[in-house]
Amino acid sequence: MASNTATVLQSFRKELLNASHAFGVPSTGSLRTAVRDVFAIALFRNSSGIGPANTSYTQVSASEVTSSGYTAGGNSCATTDPATSTNTGYWTPASVAAWTNVTMTGSNATDLALLYNSTCTAKLGVATFALGVIDTGQAPSAGTFTLTMPTNDGSTGLIRIT
């Protein structure tokens, strides 16, 4: 099986231009209704071959981890608004709830998190993030899996447009 890849999905660049995502509340007078989308983070098994050419959560959901304490689709991100710092736009979720009492061991270990738009029907993907070392990943056992976001600024924010 092919390794997973941490990357911005190629399709995300196009979908940004199509206004398919609203990380914050769209500006008054824009085509979209003034409601932000909900984004979620789902976890995927090692060596699922997920990478830049994938387009959505739905497309890769067969490779998602399974465990008691983990619901398919992952956990929603807490709301935050995009911001700018000079020439960089950035967005980082305030937090993602931890998964408790989960077991993701052996072939169910996870080395990749997918950020995707859970509001839109197509569950369009944004980017994938390595959970430590690719192909090794994380293997909680009857324990808690906690994912902590980076500092929300123009240098380290989760998604940055420079």
Partner 1 sequence: MTRTVNTIIGEIPESDLEFATLEKDSGDTLIMSREWKYKGADPALVEHVGQMVRRDCWVTMKTGISLAGSAEL
Please say which residue, 25 or 161, places its beta carbon nearer to partner 1: 161
Phi, psi (deg, nearest 5) at residue 127? -160, 160
SS3 16: helix
Please report, as ranges, the residues that interact with partner 1 according to CB under 8 A.
Answer: 6-8, 13, 87-88, 90, 92, 101, 103, 127, 129-133, 138-150, 155-162
Q: Give burial (CB, 10 Å; 0-12/13-18/19+) of 81.
A: exposed
Q: What is the closest distance, in whole angstroms, from the C-beta atom of residue 117 to partner 1 in the complex?
A: 16
Cβ 23 to partner 1 shortest distance, Å: 13
Our CB check for partner 1 shows the closer of 34 and 101 to be: 101
Alpha carbons 128 and 109: distance in angstroms, whole number? 16
Nearer to partner 1, 34 or 81 (CB): 81
The letter for the amino acid at 157 is G
> Smallest distance, Å, CB 162 to partner 1?
5
